[in-house]
Amino acid sequence: MTLMGQNGAGKSTVFQLMNGKLESTDGAIHIERGLTIATSRQVIPQEQLSITVREFFEACFKEKVYDIDPKIDEILLVVNFKADHDRIIRSFSGGQQARLLLASALIQNPDLLLLDEPTNNLDSEGIEHLKQFLINYDKTVIVISHDANFLNAFTEGVLYLDIFTQRIERYTGNYFDVVKEITARVEQEKRKNAQLAKVIQENKDKANFFSHKGGKMRLVAKKLRDEVKESEENKVEVRKEDKTIRPFIIPVQESLSGEILGISATISMVDGKEVHRSVHVSLRKGDHLLLSGPNGIGKSTLLESIVFRNEKGITVNPDVEIGYYRQDFSTLNFEDTVYDSLGHIAADITNEKLRALAAGFLIDKDIIYSKIGSLSEGQKGLVSLAQLVLQKPGLLILDEPTNHMNFRHLPIIAKALSRYEGAMILVSHVKEFVDQVRIDETLNLTK
C-alpha cells in the first residue's frame, strides 16, 4: 500500500502512530496482538551519526543480538551495499545512509514494514534494486513516497491523506488509477453542482415572478423558495486538490563578472579508494552544471569543498554569494521559527512581503511561527527554497532538491532553476526532474 498526501498533511505522523512512537489524542488504532512493525525513516537522527554501523544495527533491537555481524552483511546484500562495520555513520553519503536506513528496518524481519520516502538520495541503480525487492516482498508494506513512477511498480492500493478534510481515503490500484478516479469524481461533482445551480436560478426567477402576483401565487412562490433551499443543501463540496507552490524566481547577485567557479581537479571514491582526476570546469554567470555519479562517489563532498572554499583545484570568486540547498537541511537552524529563519536572510524585508513570499511556498499563518525542527521534511525543503529567493546568490548549489517534495511542486521548481541567471550546480538522481532543468554542462565523477 502507498500512503500519499501533501507535504505536512501528516503522513510521517501516521507512521509514528502505527509504530507506537506517538500516542493518539483522539480516535483509535487497532494493531493485531503480536504484530511486529519496523520503520525505515527518512533521515538518520543526529544522535546516531557518530556511532558505528554495528552500533546502528544493534540499536534496532530491544535485546542484545549476539553474533550480529553476519546478519548485517546479509541484510546489506539485500540493499546492494557493502560497509565496514566499524565505520562511522556520518562518513557515508546521503544515498549510502538511505540504504542503511532501509536495511535497519529489513533486519528486523517485521510483519509490517513502513517505508518513509525510501528513494530519497538513492541513485537509479538503488531505486531499481528497491523496486524489485518490494515486488518480490511477501509481507505487508506501506510506503510514503512522492515518486509516482516508483510507486506504480508495486503498489496495490493507495491510502490518501486529505489535508483539507483530514481524513484518509482508500483506493484500489496504483497512483495513476487513483488520479483517474479522483479526477472523474471531481468532474462528476462539478456537473452535479452546475445542474443544481441551473435549477436554483430558474426557481429563484419563478419565485420572484409569482411573489408579485398575490393570492395563491404567493404560496407557489414560497414552495419554490423551499425547493431552492433544498437544492442549495444538496450541493456537494467539490474535492479539493493538493495545492502547489506558486511560480517563483531566484534573483541573482548583482555586479558579478568573469569566472565565478573553476574546478581543475576532483577526488572520487571508487571501491573504497580515492581516485584523483584532472578536469576543466569554468562557470560564469548563467552557466548551469549537472554533477552526476552513483551514491558514495563524492558529489556532496565536492559541493561542500566549493561552499567552504577549502580544496585544492577549486577556485571560487571571493565576492560571490553562495546559495546552498543541502539535502539534510543542516543549513537551517532547527530552533528558529520559520519567520525568524527567513527574516535573518533579509533583515530589511517588510512583514507583509515576507508573509507573501512564505505563502507562495505554502508556509501559511499556521506554521510560520513554528520551529523549523517541528516541520515535515518537505516543508523544510520549501523553507530552504524561500531562503534562496531572499538570499539572491551568485552561485546556486542544490544537492537533491527533489527529496521529500510533493511531485506537483517539481515542474515549478525546475522552471525556477532553468530561469536562474547565475552560475548553478545541480545534483539529482531524478531523471524526469533533470530533464526539465536547463543544463549546459555535465561533470560525471565516474569518468
Tell whether 376 is covered by a domain.
yes
pTM: 0.69
Answer whether residue 210 is part of any domain. yes
Whether 64 and 133 map to the same domain: the answer is: yes
pLDDT at 411: 92
318 — pLDDT class (breaks 50, 70, 90): very high
- Can you give the length of the chain in residues? 447
Task: Return all residues near 350 (Cβ < 8 A) that are at least 6 apart.
Answer: none
Asked which of 163, 192, 207 is the last residue of a domain, the reply is 163
Calculate the average pLDDT of the chain. 87
66/154 same-domain check: yes
Residues 50 and 82 in one domain: yes
Region 325-338: what's the mean pLDDT? 91
| 410 phi and psi angles, rounded to 5 deg | -60, -45
- Exposed e or buried b for every residue in 221-258, given b needs 16+ CB within 10 A? beebbebbeebeeeeeeeeeebeebeebebebbeebee
**Domain shared by 143 and 217, yes or no:** no
CA distance 152 to 175: 6
2 pLDDT above the threshold of 60: yes
Asked whether residue 436 is domain-assigned, the answer is yes
Tell me what pLDDT residue 240 has.
54
Whole-number Å distance between alpha carbons of 44 and 398: 20
What's the pLDDT tens digit per position in 20-44? Answer: 889 889 888 889 999 999 998 878 8
3-class secondary-structure state, position 386: helix
- Residue 156 falls within a domain, yes or no? yes
Does residue 91 form part of some domain? yes
Q: The domain containing residue 326 runs over which residues?
A: 259-444
Burial of 56 (0-12, 13-18, 19+ CB in 10 A): buried
Q: What's 371's DSSP letter?
A: B
Do 100 and 205 have their domain in common? no
425/360 same-domain check:
yes
* H helices, E strands: number in the chain: 14, 14
Tens-digit pLDDT profile for residues 397-431: 999 998 888 778 999 999 999 999 999 999 998 88
Report pLDDT digits (tens) over 117-154: 888 777 778 888 888 888 888 899 999 887 777 888 88
Q: Residue 389 and residue 205: Cα distance in Å, rounded?
A: 52
Is residue 171 one of the residues assigned to a domain?
no
Domain harbouring 13, CATH code: 3.40.50.300
The answer to whether residues 81 and 7 touch, using CB atoms and an 8 Å cutoff, is no
Helices 377-391, 351-360: inter-axial angle, 10-degree rounding: 130
Looking at the fold, whether 307 and 409 belong to one and the same domain comes out as: yes
Question: Are 155 and 183 in the same domain?
Answer: no
Q: Could you report the per-residue pLDDT of 381-400, keeping only the tens digit for each?
A: 999 999 999 999 999 999 99
CA–CA distances in Å: residue 251 to residues 117, 262, 286, 327, 402: 31, 22, 12, 21, 20
Residues 309 and 275 in one domain: yes
- Asked, for residue 249, whether it belongs to a domain, the answer is no
Give 114's strand partners.
39, 142
Structural domain total, the chain = 3
Closest to 423 measured CA to CA, from 278, 320, 310: 320
Chain-centre distance of CA 208, in angstroms?
54
Query: Which stretch of 72-81, 286-295, 319-328 has the lowest confidence by average pLDDT?
Result: 72-81
In a domain, 168, yes or no: no
Under the phi-then-psi rule, with left for phi > 0, alpha for psi from -120 to 50, and beta for the rest, what region is 175?
A: alpha
| Pick from 124, 121, 89: nearest CA to 399 | 121
Q: What is the pLDDT of residue 38?
A: 93
Residues 285 and 401 in one domain: yes
Q: Specify the higher pLDDT residue, 291 or 218.
A: 291
Which residue(s) pair with 388 in the sheet? none
Is the model's pLDDT at 246 over the cut of 90? yes
Question: From its phi and psi, is residue 161 left (phi > 0), alpha (psi between -120 and 50) or beta?
Answer: beta
pLDDT confidence of residue 237: 58
Q: Tell me, yes or no, whether 206 and 298 share the same domain.
A: no
146 and 35 housed in the same domain: yes
